Amino acid sequence: MSKFYSLFSSSKGNASFVGGPSGGILVDAGVSCRRLTRSLAAHDIPAEAVQAICITHAHSDHIAGLRVFLKSHPVPVYATEGTLQELSGAMALPDVPLRAVTPQKAGIIAGVEVLPFSTMHDAAGSCGYRFALPDGQSCAVCTDLGCVTQEVWDAVSGTDLVLLEANYDPEMLRNGPYPLYLQERIAGEEGHLSNFDSAGLAEQLIRSGTTRLVLGHLSQNNNTMPLAERTVLTHLREEGMARNRDFLLQVSSPEGLKQAVIF
């Protein structure tokens, strides 16, 4: 029985955990160390259970708490070469192993087979991760991508669970407070997935065998949880797919999900 924990998920801070109280892998550390350890504790996971950290990219909403967390809990950090270079320039990390991963090349991290995959996002070395657990189950963290490339699809298709980006509603973005250049960045090929993009990918994932979807990385200025959920569910219903029959769907708040997703 595998468990996925969405600890934090929004444009202002991201962190997930794959595993359980006896050990697992943290994906990103985009909030303060205090908030991160409190969230883990709320799920009955001691901070010492974090055996490794996989970083998707070096934007602050994914690494803000990394340095302080590593001072108290020195574990290996895994990221692409591009992200490791960005990290070195962004902060003075404690003396912990920094291990480069290569997109499309699987490796073993904390007893789990991990496949990094490149994502189209405006950060050096940006990637997502697919995890193949010892019990035969699999999950993927698939956020911060402006478009779905073949590499992304090859990595996430067929996984049992996917944390899937649903960042913005196009109308809210267009009529919101952001200047035009920022709107274009978000909606561009190196930006983020809209609710409609997420709905299309969700359909494909379900057809490939995915049964559990967690919508995440919602913009707090250009989206809402009910809107993201409604957009995705409407599309899936139109394709003849029924919630709780063909798939389970949850939407992560900025503070994550209250309970682990079992898959």
Q: What is the CATH number of the domain that holds 83?
A: 3.60.15.10
Query: What is the pLDDT of the chain when averaged over all its residues?
Result: 97
Rounded Cα distance, 8 and 94, in Å: 23
Return the half-sphere exposure (C-beta side, CA atoms, 13 A cut-off) of residue 50: 30
In this predicted structure, what is the pLDDT of residue 81?
98
User: Which SS3 state, helix, strand or coil, does residue 182 take?
Assistant: helix
Return the percentage of the chain with pLDDT > 70, whole number. Answer: 100
The H or E element that residue 173 is part of is helix 170-175
pTM above 0.95, yes or no: yes
| Residues 142-180: tens digit of each pLDDT | 999 999 999 999 999 999 999 999 999 999 999 999 999
| Confidence label for 90 from pLDDT (cuts 50, 70 and 90) | confident
Number of domains in the chain: 1
Domain span including residue 74: 3-262
Dist CA 30 CA 179 (whole Å): 25
How many angstroms separate the Cα of 240 from the Cα of each of 200, 233, 243, 250?
13, 11, 10, 19
Which pLDDT value is given to residue 180? 97
Q: Is the pLDDT of residue 23 over 90?
A: yes
Interstrand relation of 107-109 and 212-216 (parallel, antiparallel or unpaired):
unpaired
